[in-house]
Structure 1
């Protein structure tokens, strides 16, 4: 069986992260690296990414064939995550074009969320 493990954060956790020294941040990130290595060795890791600030999220609704975006990240509580596509494209505009081609987008909310670049911490 496949599982998507979503790691949720909150403003208090982000504030604590921001108060850590560079060394403490590197140590924390090393723990993620070790976990990824262990899961890879067992053949269990399919994909892993850290998502960028939720304030950068865009919600996309396709209505009458037209994609309309609003600031995210929160869908109504009745909405539940059903799956995801991980894409590598040139811009938010291109990602919005991709969302407009998802069949379910006409009847649901799809969020576009940038992936955080962690290369500076390594």
Structure 2
């Protein structure tokens, strides 16, 4: 089963971390990528730029409305993901606990829609 592990960032928390804590998070990602690459569970992973680089596109009355910035102004935002393929949901949850950001913010574990996955 494929799962997306969505990493959320809270800039108020991140801004209070020491440089050593930040380096620990970065090294934790390197170690985690190595682990799930070796296990064959990693499909892809990418970090995202900060919300200040976002453009939001909407169609209203058949007219595009394009605005700079994220859809919602929040303290937490989606900052990256791991797309994994593992045997069970408990394994996906166990992997999510290994993502270093979980120590400071949230990791959302969401199955991908497939013929055997839960419906909308």
- TM-score using structure 2 length: 0.49
Answer 1 or 2: which has greater strand percent.
2
Q: RCO (CA 8 Å, sep 6+): is it higher in 1 or 2?
A: 2
- TM-score using structure 1 length: 0.48
